[in-house]
Amino acid sequence: MILRLAVGSLLARALTVGMTVLAIALSVALFLGVEKVRTGARASFADTISGTDLIVGARSGSVQLLLYSVFRIGNATNNVTWESYQDIAARPEVDWIVPVSLGDSHRQFRVMGTTQEFFKRYKYRGGRSLEIPEGHGLEDLYDAVIGADVAATLGYAVGDPIVVSHGLASFTEHDDQPFRVAGIIAKTGTPVDRTVIVSLEAIEAIHVDWQSGGQIPGRTTPVEAIRTMDLTPKAITAALVGVDSRLQIFGLQRWINEYPEEPLLAILPGVALAELWQIVGVAETALLGVSVMVVATALLGMMAMIFSGLNERRREMAIWRAMGARPAVILGLLVLEAMLMAAAGATLGLALLYAGLSVARPLVDTAFGIWLPIEPPAMRELLVLAGVIGAAVLASLLPALRAYRLSLADGMMVKI
């Protein structure tokens, strides 16, 4: 009986109720959408590099090593000698090892020297490999493979020339040895998108006529002569390491950290990423707080709507009282109406969320590299919906209690 009365009352005020339900739905969709983006961003961040068991560099901090070796942010405190790199590569636990050499730049994008093995071993998002849909990898000494953001920002295509600058904030360019765009990596949503990749030998080649950070005056070695030189590097910045068995990771890590020839540091990428997220993940809490405020605003709007409608419904309630309805029925009616509006808003919000995800997921993945999973509502999301309905019941109690106290005489004295 009371349910039928509540539904009829809501239908009689369809426009006002519909706007309130829509406000709740949009706020719920925003709240759950922020939660999806938050968890998707965290998962994508954690999957910036996968399949790599250890990252090795000069001894510093784990976050610092992760920042410059994976995210290309900052600089190494020191380099790793080539002899030490070879010692690590010769360890029986090592399945594969990829060297990384940093230091130069191209129009504010970092230049990374490595080997062709990098394109095979670097994995992201749970095991996805790098793809080069345009062009090819590092085949010639002066080939450069660029990330998607580099190509989009600078308007590069396969075959275009690239001149590398010395250092990160230097006006000196290695214009005597230009590179050629050999390939463009498909968008990954990782720092690879903002990287110019060349070979280790190329890094050595462009510094043949350099010493102590500066070019030797009056010395210019012809490119033809450079191609015939031994361009084995003397040092690298870091190395990505994969081991034969996960059981060997900690033993190899301890051996590297205790390496007697020079101070080295080996870190587990997953652990370092978790540490870094504790620093950069503060924004997700603020974002979550904003979405909570939006939901609270929608519920306050619903309470205001119930309050504003009380004066118009005083005669209606007085008639119900005159027909024998007890005050508790009036209170229950208003609470039930609020519950129905919140339930309808939560259901509509959930539908809007999944509709938005199906449209936005490929766009967000392409633009930002954040994968938004479309999965059935988890327990956390269902608890959020239940919380919204519960909060709506609490928000309706104040106007419902006011209606409960309306006397029969007060209602009957209302003038039309």
Co-location of 21 and 76 in the same domain: no
Q: Could you tell me if 214 and 339 lie in one domain?
A: no
pLDDT for the residue 189: 85
Query: Does some domain include residue 15?
Result: yes
Same domain, 211 and 348: no
Per cent of the chain over pLDDT 90 is: 41
Between 199 and 361, the higher pLDDT residue: 199
pLDDT in tens, 79-92: 999 999 999 999 99
Q: What pTM was computed for the model?
A: 0.74
Residue 247 domain boundaries? 54-267
Overall domain count for the chain: 2
- Tell me, yes or no, whether 184 and 94 share the same domain: yes
In the predicted model, what is the mean pLDDT of the chain? 84
Distance CA 16, CA 13 (A): 6
Residue 275 lies in a domain: no
Kindly state whether residues 238 and 116 are assigned to the same domain. yes
Residues 81 and 202 in one domain: yes
252 and 344 share one domain:
no
Q: Which of 59-63, 124-128, 255-259 has the lowest mean pLDDT?
A: 124-128
- Is the same domain home to 245 and 312? no
Residue where a domain stops, chosen among 223, 241, 267: 267
In sequence order, what are the beta bridge partners of 184?
A: 134, 146
146 in any annotated domain: yes
pLDDT exceeds 90 at position 260 = yes
pLDDT, tens only, 153-182: 999 999 999 999 987 766 688 888 999 999
Going by pLDDT thresholds of 50, 70 and 90, the confidence category of residue 407 is: very low
Is 95 in a helix, a strand, or coil? strand
Position 368 in a domain = yes
> Using one digit for the tens of pLDDT, what is the confidence trace for 262-297?
999 999 998 998 888 877 666 667 777 777 787 777
Give the whole-angstrom CA distance, residue 250 versus residue 244. 12
Provide the pLDDT for residue 316: 67
Which pLDDT score is estimated for 414? Answer: 46
Neighbours of 324 (CB within 10 A): 7
* Whether residues 86 and 225 fall in one domain: yes
> Quick check: 409 pLDDT over 50?
no
Specify if 272 maps to a domain. Answer: no
